[in-house]
A = this chain, B = another copy of it.
C-alpha cells in the first residue's frame, strides 16, 4: 500500500520522525476528505494542513490514490466495538455509534465523502462496497441471532430490517440537512424490531 515503509509492515522504524509524518499526514487527509471530499483533494492542501512539505508526502506514498487507500484502511481500523448485552441492546449500541459518527464527529463528512467517491472511482468503490458489506452482514447476523433465540419476532426479515435501520440514518445524513439524532435511535429500533413485550 505505502511505497517506502523503510522497514517491513509491523516492524518499528528507528527514526520516530517517519511514523510521526505518516500520522499527521493521514490525519490531515481525513480532515481534507471530510471538508472537500475525494474529488476536491489537493496534495498541497493536505501538506499545508499537516504542516509538512509536499515532498514528504511523496516520500511516503506514491500519489493521491495510494495515500487515500492507506488512509481509508486506517479509518477502518479505528472503527470498532460490538459490545455486550441482548441483541436489542447491541443493535442499539451499533446504530447509536453510527448516528453519532454521522452527526457529531469532526469526521461526520468522512463517510459521505466515501459514499460520494465510490460512485465514480472504481478503486474507492471496491473498498467502499466491501467495507459496507462487512458491517451490513455483522448487523444481519446479529438480527438473525435474535430471531433464532426468540428475542425478536420470528417473522422478522433480518436483511431488510438491517437495511431499513442503516438506511434511515444514511438517508437522513445524505438527503436532508437534519441528520438522525442519536437519542432517537431507541425509537427507531423499537419501530423496526417491534416493541419489547
Copies of this subunit: 2
List of 4 A-B pairs having minimum Cβ-Cβ separation, nearest first = A39-B39, A167-B167, A116-B116, A167-B171
Give A188 to B174 CA distance when docked, in angstroms.
21
**Chain A residues in the interface with B (C-beta under 8 A):** 35-40, 109, 112-113, 115-120, 125, 128-129, 132-133, 136, 157, 160, 163-164, 166-172, 174-177, 187-188, 191-192
A-B contact pairs, 6 of them (CB 8 A): A112-B119, A115-B116, A129-B176, A166-B175, A167-B167, A170-B174
Majority SS at the chain A contact face:
helix
Known: A168-B160, A171-B171. A136 touches B176 (CB 8 A): yes
Contact B168 A170, beta carbon cutoff 8 Å: no
Among candidates B38, B170, B192, residue contacting A170 with C-beta atoms closer than 8 Å: B170
Residue among A39, A116, A132, A168 with the most chain B CB within 10 A? A116
